[in-house]
Chains A and B, each alone.
Chain A
Amino acid sequence: MLRYSLKRLLSLILSLAVASLVIFFVIEVAPGDPASFMLGINAQPDTVAALRTELGLDQSKFARYANWVTGMLHGDFGTSYTYRTPVAGMISDRLWVSLPLALYALVLSTLIAFPAGIFAAARRGKGGDMAVMGATQLGVAVPNFWFAMMLVLIFAINLRWFNAGGFAGWDKGLWSGLHSLTLPAISLALPQAAILARVMRSALLDILGEDFMRTARAKGLSRRQALWRHGVRNALIPVLTIIGLQFSFLLAGAIIIEQVFYLPGLGRLVFQAISARDLIVVESVVMLLVFAVITVNFLVDLAYAAVDPRLRSRT
């Protein structure tokens, strides 16, 4: 187990190193200059040059890459070109929105998907299964920004149960924080739940065909008991993979939803940073997201082992 983790860790570090190179040089070719963006159309060339010097943009690309990477190793992500504050601080502020939002959406989607998937699998081919599967088809097909718009119209503008957007902050208490993340979380969670429910169902159906399910029935377990005691846990492996993928997607993919609900999250930060050519912010956020995805995959692999004892002794 330890050996396995070590090996994964090594490939994680390697991936990050390659990722940092790719990110830096891809992003650096983007046309547009942060300094001229900051100074607008009336700026004089010498002013722009002065700002470029101040921002360190006059150094060579390689020097800046080296600075960036060595900085990151010390936990210093550099200073934003536009905000002029440390990138690390900005990211951690935004993470306090994005991370809870992703987790919230993930919990919602799991809470919806598990019962739905299990229900459908248990009633394979019957009316209940059809209904759930039909709903998941629709869930996958509805664009989430469109769905978000509808939620706002109904729950914020007409019913006034929620704010139309914005984030109340955690300092006002857990409840008000969660309350302001509820509509965004729902709009993110629903399509994910649809996918997850389908995976859960098909994984369970696979398991239902396994010999040990028949053994369980032969012991005297009812269909339902067998499903819960032996089916669900075995079905968790493919489901975990999808949950892992979804978490990374939710962390990075909330850009549009953050826009619709004007949440100060990572997605909006990176979106703004791209348009302002605040490259160092873009680079650092992308790096962080890549890191998050790789780490989540790593954790999912470890979680497999928790679920599946066969993997614990894996070399």
Chain B
Amino acid sequence: MIRNLIIGAILSSLVLLAALVSFVWTPFDHTAMDIPAKLQTPNTDHWLGTDHFGRDIFSMVMVGARTSIAVALVAVGIGMSIGIPLGLTAAARSGSWLDELIMRGNDLVFAFPSLVIAILITAIFGAGAVNAIIAIGIFNIPVFARITRGASLSLWQREFILAARVSGKGPARISAEHILPNIANLLIVQGTIQFSLGILAEAGLSYVGLGAQPPTPSWGRMLADAQTMVSFAPHLALIPGSAIIVTVLGLNLMGDGLRDWLDPKLRVTRT
């Protein structure tokens, strides 16, 4: 439905806009503390109030959008840049030992409990945005590999691929010239979905203290910091919580809308 696409695009671009504007302007310095002015409810000065250190929540949410988007985007980038070539290779060599190896490897990565591994990665390399990206990115790889292979396999059965083979083109060339452009839509749609999952995952990791590190604000950490104060300062949790929901909702709607708009017959798995 095109309406989904529009609503989703508006929500997502609002968030993107906030992130971009935060580079040049925020109402306050997002790191500036003013402890006597802590825990203010929204007012004319601080539009969304202040947190337990007296920082301006509006500014933090804006900069937090930057963190969330950056982490999720790079994680999706990792997943795509490794997963898609793997999937293409597996499909081109379908049935061979290489295909088997790639797919079994995929299953294995899938089988690992992602959150536990994410915690381990941060335990090994230390908490931080970069490691959160790696942790989320690793689990994006099999998602893209699998969906790429699945979609490519059916394309490899198509006669225009046979025609290309008759024209002497090798698997690599065919993958790049014929397969990839034809599954691009599918990958873009899956990309938006993984992107939204990435934002949720970053929030979850930050919530347990393994995401971006202070003073870089992150929605998940704002939420985690606020959790004990929900009972007397609910806006502290509601605001970053809503930011996450709006972003994820926007991206999902956009993904759904894109899928319907680009090709109603696209199959997208989302887990």
Measured CB to CB, the residues of A under 8 A from B are: 11, 14-15, 18-19, 22, 26-27, 29-32, 137-138, 140-143, 145-146, 149, 153, 157, 195, 198-199, 242, 245-246, 248-249, 251-253, 255-256, 259, 267, 270-271, 274-275, 282, 285-286, 289-290, 293-294, 297
Contact = CB atoms under 8 A, between A and B. Distances in A.
- Chain B: interface residue count, which band? 35 or more
A274 B120 contact: yes
Majority secondary structure of chain B interface residues (helix, strand, loop or mixed): helix
15 contacts: A15-B107, A15-B108, A19-B108, A26-B124, A27-B120, A137-B249, A142-B241, A143-B244, A153-B231, A195-B271, A255-B116, A259-B208, A282-B120, A294-B111, A297-B107
Contact of B120 (A19, A26, A195, A256): A26
Given A138-B249, A290-B112, A146 B124 contact: no
B253 A137 contact: yes
Given A256-B115, A297-B111, 7 more contacts: A14-B104, A141-B245, A153-B230, A157-B231, A252-B116, A253-B115, A293-B112
A141 B108 CA distance: 27
Contacts of A256: 115, 204, 207-208
Majority secondary structure of chain A interface residues (helix, strand, loop or mixed): helix
A297 B200 CA distance: 25
Contacts of A248: 111, 113
B248 interface: yes
A255 B210 CA distance: 14
Given A30-B123, A245-B271, A143 B114 contact: no
B123 A145 contact: no
Contacts of B196: 140-141
B110 interface: yes
Contacts of A137: 249, 252-253, 256
B71 interface: no
Contacts of A198: 270
Q: 10 smallest A-B Cβ distances: which pairs?
A: A252-B113, A141-B248, A293-B111, A141-B249, A289-B113, A141-B245, A30-B124, A290-B111, A245-B271, A146-B241
